[in-house]
């Protein structure tokens, strides 16, 4: 339930009260502890402010304070039992807590998670995030606890009716999870044809990597690059080339391009590109160049264990 439950905690409310005017900006800057402090102070004098309660739950959720988040969302559910989003957020916080504790304790929470999501889906026939959560929940639960591929597909079809891209991605997820890669590929390709976002391309790339099909992965990344023109995709090609020892010249060129055009928005630090270049040079049996690049990686991010391990292997060549 990891990916889509993260959507729970992004603020969607703007407060009119001056005490809370800066909270939205704090969320955008990921200063969740400070946001928690401001909203908590506000609630001291305005304990029944629904928007503030929700915002405090979101602040707790961002910090993985699941019990505190659950308490705030439960307040909202008790105040308004007909609000689908409150049930969704309550179920999501419960679900995230279940993932953070041992499996035996988590069993006592699962039924409440399912109940909250189903209630949200019942209250709002167009609630996309709830249906995503149910797709994931029913796939990940063992059958003895109510897990069901058919139920997952049922909610995935509901997503198709609401948003074809989400529905196709959901069906791709179900079939990938159930180890049916050909069907997963089919639906991820349908999602790309329908929407063509980077998320759609990335899902298919990851499937190909997991299926040990690096050539298809690189081909798909190149298609994404042609459509989106993102420097980060150069790194992805280099990563696949380095990990699977394939198309090494292309991988090296892409990594050099990534480094030359790097900016913080690309996400992956340059050190990782140097690490991949070191791997490529190991495949090419070029020890001096491999050492040069791994030393660059270590100098930039000295605490990454995989960098140090790679250097040990290079020195053995």
> Tens digits of per-residue pLDDT, 43-55?
998 899 999 999 9
Structural domains counted in the chain: 2
Report residue 64: phi and psi, to 5°.
60, 30
Report residue 195: phi and psi, to 5°.
-120, -45
Predicted pLDDT of residue 8: 53
Q: Are residues 13 and 134 in the same domain?
A: yes
Q: Are residues 133 and 235 in the same domain?
A: no
Q: What is the pLDDT of residues 121-176, one digit of tens each?
A: 999 999 999 999 999 999 998 887 788 999 999 999 999 999 999 999 999 999 99
The last residue of one of the domains, among 130, 147, 164, is 147
Asked if 173 and 135 count as a contact pair (C-beta separation under 8 A), the reply is yes
In a domain, 162, yes or no: no
Q: And the tokens for 236?
A: 């992805």
Report residue 15: phi and psi, to 5°.
-90, 140
pTM: 0.86
How far apart CA 130 and CA 147 sit, in angstroms, is 16
In a domain, 218, yes or no: no
User: What's the DSSP call for residue 138?
Assistant: H
In a domain, 254, yes or no: yes
Q: Are residues 236 and 138 in the same domain?
A: no
In a domain, 67, yes or no: yes
- In which domain, by residue range, is 236 found? 230-317
Could you give the 3-state DSSP secondary structure of residue 290?
Answer: helix
The last residue of one of the domains, among 120, 147, 174, is 147
Q: Are residues 118 and 245 in the same domain?
A: no
How far apart CA 223 and CA 198 sit, in angstroms, is 10
Mean pLDDT: which of 12-21, 95-104, 252-261 is highest?
Answer: 252-261
Q: Are residues 137 and 245 in the same domain?
A: no
Asked if 78 and 90 count as a contact pair (C-beta separation under 8 A), the reply is no
Q: And the tokens for 162?
A: 């609401």
**pLDDT-based confidence at residue 19 (cuts at 50, 70, 90):** low
User: What's the DSSP call for residue 196?
Assistant: -
- Taking the CA of residue 66 as centre, how many other CA atoms within 13 Å lie in the half-sphere pointing to its CB? 15
Asked if 165 and 195 count as a contact pair (C-beta separation under 8 A), the reply is yes
Q: Are residues 4 and 127 in the same domain?
A: yes
In a domain, 188, yes or no: no
Q: Are residues 1 and 134 in the same domain?
A: yes
CATH label of the domain that carries residue 243: 1.25.40.10
Residues 6+ apart with CB under 8 A from 107: 145
Predicted pLDDT of residue 11: 46
The last residue of one of the domains, among 147, 177, 200, is 147
User: What's the DSSP call for residue 293?
Assistant: H
Asked if 51 and 34 count as a contact pair (C-beta separation under 8 A), the reply is no
């Amino acid at each position: 339930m990891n990916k889509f439950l993260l959507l729970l905690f992004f603020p969607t409310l703007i407060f009119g009260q001056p005490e809370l005017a800066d909270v939205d900006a704090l969320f955008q800057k990921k200063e969740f502890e400070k946001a928690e402090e401001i909203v908590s102070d506000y609630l001291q004098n305005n304990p029944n402010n629904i928007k503030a309660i929700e915002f405090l739950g979101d602040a707790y959720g961002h910090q993985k304070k699941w019990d505190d988040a659950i308490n705030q969302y439960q307040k909202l559910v008790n105040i308004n039992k007909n609000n689908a989003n409150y049930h969704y957020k309550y179920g999501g916080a419960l679900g995230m807590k279940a993932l953070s504790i041992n499996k035996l304790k988590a069993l006592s929470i699962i039924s409440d998670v399912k109940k909250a999501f189903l209630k949200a889906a019942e209250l709002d026939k167009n609630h996309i995030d709830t249906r995503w959560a149910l797709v994931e929940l029913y796939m990940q639960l063992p059958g003895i606890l109510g897990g069901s591929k058919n139920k997952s597909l049922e909610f995935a079809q509901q997503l198709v009716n609401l948003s074809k891209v989400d529905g196709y991605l959901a069906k791709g997820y179900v079939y990938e999870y159930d180890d049916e890669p050909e069907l997963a590929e089919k639906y991820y390709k349908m999602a790309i044809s329908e929407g063509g976002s980077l998320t759609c391309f990335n899902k298919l790339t990851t499937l190909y990597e997991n299926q040990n099909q690096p050539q298809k992965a690189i081909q798909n990344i190149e298609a994404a690059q042609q459509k989106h023109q993102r420097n980060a995709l150069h790194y992805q090609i280099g990563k696949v080339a380095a990990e699977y020892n394939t198309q090494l010249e292309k991988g090296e060129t892409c990594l050099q391009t990534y480094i030359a055009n790097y900016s913080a928005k690309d996400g992956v630090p340059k050190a990782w590109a140097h690490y991949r270049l070191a791997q490529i040079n190991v495949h090419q049996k070029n020890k001096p160049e491999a050492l040069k690049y791994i030393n660059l990686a270590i100098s930039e991010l000295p605490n990454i264990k995989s960098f140090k391990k790679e250097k040990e292997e290079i020195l053995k060549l």
